[in-house]
Structure 1
């Protein structure tokens, strides 16, 4: 599945390509590192973009769940990020990231997701707190 169909973002601010798995509490997505990605530098894509990559994966999860109810993707908010460690500075051109998000909690628009990016022999993980307001 193309991730852009489930998120409220448009290029160049899209940081996930495909959704490879999704369930009631879990999503897995991929991103190929290309030179046309926003923030790409000569060395590659800075790993500080991991926060946005994870947030868009959570957004794709919410968009897929909404799609099941015939609801268009909504804008959500990243409230906080905990326990993120970046062991490397850049993701290299041509490499593919595997991104996972596991829902830990969700109630009345507030949620928490355990996220992980798999890249070569590195794993970057973080706990994201998010909010999706009800449409007025």
Structure 2
């Protein structure tokens, strides 16, 4: 049974949820959570490393926003169980569809991620979307992997 989307209580600071730090941390906060989905906020900063000449965020960075939302969902579900989330990786997306070339400077984005599948082996897929002012700007099904032994996975990937 899925718990309803919880928006009633404050969530921990985003820095305590996802491993990203500094300018690579693109999410601002968590807005809602349930067993299968998460909604987060992100602000487009005109002086950020990704900003174009108009201070906008190129739409291709949306895949990273989605990946961070997935990481936050996995981490918060683990925290609910009194556990710590295992590290994971973004495997990719068959089709990331950007419905505009960029997200405007100072825009407040809503990033949603809904789990479609999760295997015992650590493979998962999420349906994700980015909205600005209530309008969908990007969407994708994102595939992720949470290996049981992350260090061995990375070392095996690098040495191959």
**Residues 55-101 of structure 1 deviation map (CA, whole Å, 9 limit, x = unaligned):** 00000001101112333344211112122221222211111000111
* TM value normalised by structure 2: 0.78
Distance 1:19 1:127 in 2: 20
Q: Is the 8 A contact 1:7 1:73 kept in 2?
A: no
Q: Is the 8 A contact 1:7 1:74 kept in 2?
A: no
Q: Which has the larger radius of gyration?
A: 2
- In structure 2, the CA distance between the partners of 1:24 and 1:122, relative to structure 1 (3 Å rule), is closer
* TM value normalised by structure 1: 0.91
Higher fraction of strand: 1
Please tell me the root mean square deviation across aligned C-alpha atoms, in Å: 1.6
Moved more, 63-72 or 50-59: 63-72
| Partner residue of 1:128 out of 111, 117, 142 | 142
Q: Which runs of 4+ in 1 moved over 6 A?
A: none
Higher fraction of helix: 2
How many pairs are equivalent? 136
Deviation at 1:37? 3.1
Q: Which runs of 5+ in 2 are unaligned?
A: 1-10, 151-160
Distance 2:145 2:38 in 1: 17
Distance 2:73 2:21 in 1: 17
Matched, 1:101 2:147: no
